[in-house]
Structure formats: structure tokens, C-alpha cells
Amino acid sequence: MEFKISRDFIAQVEQYIEENNEVQLQALLKDIHYADIAEIMEELDSSDASYLFHILDSEKTAEILLELDEEIREKILKNLSAKEIAEELDELSTDDAADIIAELPEDKKEEVIQELVDAEHARDIVDLLRYDEDTAGGLMAKELVKVNENWNVLTCVKEMRIQAENVQRVHSIYVVDDDNRLKGRLSLKDLLTTSTKTPISEIYIKKVDFVKVNTPDVEVARIMQKYDLEAIPVVDELGRLVGRITIDDVVDVIKEEAEKDYQLAAGISQDVEADDSILDLTRARLPWLVLALFGGFISVSLLESFNAAMKHHKELFFFTPLIAAMAGNVGVQSSAIIVQGLANNSLSGSLWRRLIKEVSLTLLNGSILAILLVLGSHFLLGEGFNLALTVSISLISVIVIASLIGTFIPILLDKIGIDPALATGPFITTSNDIFGILIYFSIAKVMLGF
């Protein structure tokens, strides 16, 4: 079960740190999971966190390092020598070690690599560093269990015992030929239930899913999810087995992807967190606000151009925020559903059918809203019937257009290879504000005449 970090517990830790009480601290944290210690360290100020890091068992610190927020990890790494960092990395698997090295400043990177004790581990880490972090190569670890197709089960089990020492979790046993080319796989279950004399070539499964080193990470995630895989081997351009990706690495990709779409919908253009610096947050947020501001300028000039309505129909101007808000909301709803459908690859059927569906859906919603609007503006707000009718007809037209924009802009962007999630949020609300006001006043002009 889980350990809950209480305010009291943190206070206790802080007190021991202040008292320099190493013995009590170590006793207090002895049975605490490294993920929990990382969370505790994130609550401390950075010098306390550094102090805590130094007095902990070296077994735990490598894992803690991995769990920490990037910002705090950077601070702690700054206080460690290249040799100390190398010692931490020797405890980690190649993919995790490579991720941490990638975060170091250029000059320290080399120093740390020089200090790595295990030569093979070092070679594997350096190898991983050359892959782009958004590809299968950037996700994979070098640790895996593989056997040669020419062995028999006995040799295989013996070799596996040696290889398994380096692997945290055995998922599949991959089968390669003499040139290390991926030929197939053996399931652990098969191995548990097969006699030891059987030759590998007879029992291995020739069909094996794999990805290439340059496959994008979101594609890897999609394939592993679709085919329900817990691990997938990675091959290079020559089909040689170079690494393996496990589902837990992919969970982060899936989560980040879903969160990125959400952030884009909210007008945040980089992967930021609430605890990032003000400058990072501004960089992610300001561009969208500037876009919305310039969109706002357009709506101001549009309204000015319908200036003439002020004389006899000034109430029209009271309804502009309502029309704009409805257009924005409908547009965001439509686009969010389409963006998720595109992300999950679950959109089926023709564009034509989608068009009809979206229009019927919005006409249904729009009619209900229009009735409420007529009733509301007449009885709640005491407007005349003509005005209420004009606003209602405009509302239906505006939200139909808004829903079409919300539906087809993401599809269009996706077709030309741009992330459709960009089309949600500020982009949609701003353009729908503009179209909304234009349509609203145009209809009003025709109906009321000004």
C-alpha cells in the first residue's frame, strides 16, 4: 500500500536536517519508497534537498534522481562531481542513464561518460545518446534478453540466466540470427512449459512486432496500445536488434500526448507545468494571448463598421458577447471531439457523412438554444420580439458555422500534416468570435435594416 506524505512528516524531516541529525533521518526514511522520497525532496528547499540526497543510501539515490522534477534534479546534479554522477548512473538502466546525461551541460556530459565504470554500460549509453528523444531510439533501453536461433533450450536458459542479471524485467526473449538480425521471439510462458531439450528454431514464434529506431514515439505508443504489447523490440536500418521499449516508458508518451492536446486547447503551446518558472509559462501562454488580441482588433473594427446600427438598434451591441461566447463554445466542443478522434485514429466514415452529422447535431442544439434565447430575451430581458427573433436566427446560423469550422479545420490541418490540436482553443474561439460577429450583424442588417 501507499505511504501518504503528511505535512507533519515533512516538518519532521526539515527539523532533523536543521539539527544535522543524520542518524535519525536515515532511520526515518529507511523504509520509504524512492518515489516517495523524491516527492518529499520536492517539498524541501533546494539546499535541504541536496543535504538529504547526500546522506541517503547510494542504492536509493539513483532511483530518486530519476523520479525528481527536472528543475530540482538540475540543482542537485550541479552539486555533484562528474565521478559522483557517474556512480549514480552505473546503478540505472541504459535508457534512464542516457536521459539524465542528455540533461547535463555539454562539458559535464563528457566528463561523466569518462567516469562510468562499466565499459559496456558506457558504450550502450553513448549509443543511446545519438537518437532523437522523440523516436523509438530515444525511448528504448539496451537491456534485453536475446537468444540465437541456432541454440537449443538448454543453452538458451543458461545464457538467459546471465543476461537476466542486467535486465530489470524480462518481457520477451528475442531470437536473432548470427548477424544479430531479429528473427522472432520466445514467450516466457512457452519457456516455462517446454522441455529443455527442444531446439530454439523449432519453438520460436516467427511473427514478431517491431519498430525501427526512427519510428516516432507517438507511433510506437499507438502500435503498442493497438496490439496490446508490453514490450516491443527496436531494429536498425539493417534489421539488427538494437533495443527494446517497455509499456511503462510508453505510458509517459501517451499521457504527455493527451495532456499536450489539452494544453493546446487551453492555449498553452509548450509542455509546461504549474511549477515551471514564470518565464517558461509566459513563453507558452503569451503568443496565444497576442493572437487573441489581434483577433479582438478585427472584431472591434467589424463592430465599428456596423456603427450605423447604433442609432435605432443599440440593443444589438448588448448581445455581441453572448453571440461570440456561444460561437466559441460550440467551436471548441466540435474541435475537441475531432482532435481526440484523430489522435486515437478512431474517426471512420466519409467527410460527407460527418458534415451531415455535425450540421444535424448543431441544428438540434441550436433550435433548443434559439427557443431558450427567444423566451429569455423576451421575458427575462424584456426585449422586443423582432430583436429576439433576429438574435435567435443569428445564433443558429453562427453556431452552425462555428461547428463546421471546429470540425473541418482540424481535419484539414491533419491532412496537410499539421498537429490538429493547434486548431482548438484560442485559434477557434478567436476566429469564431470574428465570424460570429460578422454573421450576426449581417443577418441583423437584412432583418432589421440599418
Q: Which is nearer to its own copies, 116 or 141 (CB)?
A: 141
Q: Determine which residue in the list 117, 205, 258, 355 makes contact with its own copies, applying CB under 8 A.
A: 258
Q: Which is nearer to its own copies, 110 or 318 (CB)?
A: 318
The CB-of-83 to its own copies minimum distance in angstroms stands at 27
Q: Determine which residue in the list 188, 205, 351, 355 makes contact with its own copies, applying CB under 8 A.
A: 188
Sign of the C-alpha dihedral computed for residues 131, 342, 327 and 379 taken in this order: negative
Q: Which is nearer to its own copies, 115 or 190 (CB)?
A: 190
The CB-of-25 to its own copies minimum distance in angstroms stands at 20
The CB-of-431 to its own copies minimum distance in angstroms stands at 11
Q: Which stretch binds its own copies (CB under 8 A): 46-54, 120-128, 195-203, 286-294?
A: 286-294
**At CA 437, angle to CA 436 and CA 443, rounded to 5?**
90
The CB-of-254 to its own copies minimum distance in angstroms stands at 6
Residue 373 to residue 391: CA distance in whole angstroms = 8
146 has which bridge partners? 174
80, 64 Cβ separation under 8 angstroms: no
Q: Does 261 bind its own copies (CB under 8 A)?
A: yes
Three-state secondary structure call for residue 211: strand
CB atoms within 10 A of CB 41: 24
Residue 446 to residue 450: CA distance in whole angstroms = 8
Q: Does 43 bind its own copies (CB under 8 A)?
A: yes
363-422 residues near its own copies, rule: CB under 8 A: 364-365, 368-369, 372-373, 376-377, 380-381
Angstrom CA distances, 102 to 99, 274, 391, stand at 5, 24, 58
Q: Does 290 bind its own copies (CB under 8 A)?
A: yes
Q: Does 239 bind its own copies (CB under 8 A)?
A: no
Amino acid letter, 394:
S
Q: How many helices (H) and strands (E) does the chain have?
A: 22, 6
3-state secondary structure 385-408: HHHHHHHHHHHHHHHHHHHHHHHH
The CB-of-111 to its own copies minimum distance in angstroms stands at 29
Q: Determine which residue in the list 321, 355, 384, 386 makes contact with its own copies, applying CB under 8 A.
A: 321
Q: Which is nearer to its own copies, 113 or 437 (CB)?
A: 437
Q: Which is nearer to its own copies, 112 or 336 (CB)?
A: 336
Q: How would you classify the pairing of strands 211-212 and 145-148?
A: unpaired
Q: Does 91 bind its own copies (CB under 8 A)?
A: no
Q: Determine which residue in the list 128, 326, 374, 409 makes contact with its own copies, applying CB under 8 A.
A: 326
Sign of the C-alpha dihedral computed for residues 105, 107, 109 and 115 taken in this order: negative
Q: Determine which residue in the list 122, 295, 389, 393 makes contact with its own copies, applying CB under 8 A.
A: 295
